[in-house]
């Protein structure tokens, strides 16, 4: 069974740039959720995709956007990067709709540093 | 607004001790509560999920309890081992179907 994989693992950007983070969901899972985790904090929900459609969004501005592809992999795009966007970005897949109806399987995360 | 708090923020105990981690939440209208483990710079691993109708769940040396009315959950770790060292986070699925997370308890087990 293939787990959740994220890329890149680490990246450094400067203010104002754009970034794309990628996530491959676990085999058989059709739901992908994205989270932002600042150092020493719990994750904050960004949004979720279920069968290629956005299915819920947290309190993040529109410059955070996403996609889900027919194979259920997903991208998180962040435009006009700000220093506070520096964080660990986590992707989680699950076999059903909703964030916590069942067990969530997380990737290792993408560590973004904005200078 | 649902808030989740975990106390203490950090805990260091000798190997072999039993220990309890605490999680509290402000709104009892939850669907479930989950405990996760996070190793430094890594993703999260789900440990236990307790549905709102349940009182506890057990997996190996781990036991999680839920008291919805008082807004509390505990994670009990028996016979702690150095490999248990990690940050433990709890998260509740609130009435809006959003996962609200605590900031975690960093646990260090000393050999």
φ/ψ of residue A50, rounded to 5: -130, 120
Contact present, A29 and A72 (Cβ < 8 Å): yes
Residue A1 has pLDDT above 60, yes or no: no
Q: Token pair for residue B74?
A: 């505990």
Residue A97 has a pLDDT of: 66
pLDDT in tens, chain B (111 residues): 899 999 999 999 999 999 999 999 999 999 999 999 999 878 899 999 999 999 999 999 999 999 999 999 999 999 999 999 999 999 998 887 788 999 999 999 999
How many other CB atoms are found less than 10 A from the CB of residue B98? 19
pLDDT, tens digit, 9 for 90 and up, residues A29-76:
889 999 999 998 999 999 999 889 998 899 999 999 999 999 999 999
Q: Which residues 87-106 of B have a C-beta within 8 angstroms of A?
A: 89, 91, 93, 97-99, 101-104
Residue A17 has a pLDDT of: 98
Give the residue on A whose Cα is nearest the Cα of B104: A42
Contact present, B55 and B65 (Cβ < 8 Å): yes
Q: Strand pairing of A105-106 and A44-50?
A: unpaired
Contacts of B41 in chain A (CB under 8 A): 88, 109, 111
The whole-angstrom separation of Cα A54 and Cα A31 is: 10
The alpha carbon of residue B97 and the mean position of all alpha carbons in its chain are separated, in whole angstroms, by: 19
The whole-angstrom separation of Cα A16 and Cα A78 is: 10
Kindly state whether A95 is in contact with chain B, defined as any CB-CB distance less than 8 angstroms.
no
A107/B93 touch (CB, cutoff 8 Å), yes or no: no
How many other CB atoms are found less than 10 A from the CB of residue B88? 23
Place of tokens 């009892």: B28
| DSSP letter for each residue of A15-54 | TT--EEEEEEPPTT--EEEEEEE-TTS--EEEEEEETTEE
- How big is chain B, counted in residues? 111
A109/B41 touch (CB, cutoff 8 Å), yes or no: yes
Residue B89 has a pLDDT of: 97
Name the band, by pLDDT with cuts 50, 70 and 90, for residue A103. confident
- Between A97 and B28, name the one with better pLDDT: B28
Rg (CA), chain B: 13
Q: How far is B48 from chain A (nearest CA, A)?
A: 9
Contact present, A21 and A82 (Cβ < 8 Å): no
Q: How far is B82 from chain A (nearest CA, A)?
A: 21
């Amino acid at each position: 069974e293939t787990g959740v994989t994220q890329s890149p693992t680490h990246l450094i950007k400067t203010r104002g740039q754009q970034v794309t983070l990628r996530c491959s969901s676990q085999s058989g899972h059709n739901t992908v959720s994205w989270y932002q985790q600042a150092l020493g904090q719990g994750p904050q929900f960004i949004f979720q995709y279920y069968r290629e459609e956005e299915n819920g969004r947290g309190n993040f501005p529109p410059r955070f956007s996403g996609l889900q592809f027919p194979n259920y992999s997903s991208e998180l795009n962040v435009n006009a990067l700000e220093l506070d966007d520096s964080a660990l970005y986590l992707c989680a897949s699950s076999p059903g709709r909703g964030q916590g109806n069942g067990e969530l399987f997380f990737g290792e995360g993408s560590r973004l540093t904005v200078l | 607004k649902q808030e989740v708090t975990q106390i203490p923020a950090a805990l260091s105990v000798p190997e072999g001790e039993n220990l309890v981690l605490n999680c509290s939440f402000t709104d009892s209208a939850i669907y479930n509560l989950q405990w996760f483990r996070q190793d430094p710079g890594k993703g999260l691993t789900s440990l236990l999920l307790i549905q709102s109708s349940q009182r506890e769940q057990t997996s190996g040396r781990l036991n999680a309890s839920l008291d919805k009315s008082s807004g509390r959950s505990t994670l009990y770790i028996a016979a702690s081992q150095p490999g248990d060292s990690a940050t433990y986070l709890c998260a509740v699925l609130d009435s809006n179907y959003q996962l609200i997370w605590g900031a975690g308890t960093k646990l260090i087990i000393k050999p």
